[in-house]
Amino acid sequence: MMKFVLAIVSLVAFLAWAAVRIYAGITFDINIDSYVAQAASSPSPQIAAEKLDAAVAGAVNAGLTKGNTGVFFTYPTNDVGFWYQRLVDSRAVLRGLAPNDTPLEISNTMMRVHESLTTHGKDGQSPISPEGISIAPHNVAFFWWGLLSFLAAVLFLGWWICTETDF
């Protein structure tokens, strides 16, 4: 019976890890990434700056202003500080537009901001953000929680199945 309990506890721990990861991803998308996407696709500098205000506020509230999302290696693409500064700088560029700027200057600025905030992938355009940023700054803890709970679930389920069935 103890083997079965250990297997179930490990499986529940792994499923909890998956649920928390999904929730963190959705929360990040709602509070930050969707505003960045709206800012990047906005035709108006004022609206784009307002959307970046919301994204920057979301990043500050989540503590996403510095650090790195890497677990074993700190790649430059996972630099949270650089990502945050890009949001702040893009907002400043938009706020720096003068009312008497020509439509061409405004258009060029909007294109620069768009290119600074988005990337072109196989799924179309999406906001640029470091991998694993939705669980930052707890990436290492999430890595170990997921790995250990998964391995424990597999081992305990295998142990329970092997000892409870006749082959």
pLDDT at 50 over 70: yes
The answer, yes or no, to whether residue 167 has pLDDT greater than 60, is no
Q: Give the pLDDT score at 147.
A: 97
Q: Is residue 157 part of a domain?
A: no
**Position 124 in a domain:** yes
pLDDT of residue 163: 83
Does residue 129 lie in a domain region? yes
Measure the CA–CA gap between 4 and 159, rounded to whole angstroms. 9
How much is the pLDDT for 123? 73
Domain range holding 45? Answer: 22-63+74-139
Per-residue pLDDT tens digits for 16-42: 999 999 999 999 999 999 999 999 999
pLDDT at 166 over 70: no
Predicted local confidence at residue 3, as pLDDT: 84
Mean pLDDT of 83-108: 95
Q: Does the pLDDT of residue 97 top 70, yes or no? A: yes
Mean pLDDT to the nearest integer, 66-92: 95
In a domain, 37, yes or no: yes
Number of domains observed in the structure of the chain: 1
Residue 91 lies in a domain: yes
pTM of the model as a whole? 0.87
Summarised one tens digit per residue, pLDDT across range 117-164 is: 999 877 778 999 999 999 999 999 999 999 999 999 999 988 888 887
Percent of the chain residues topping a pLDDT of 90:
83
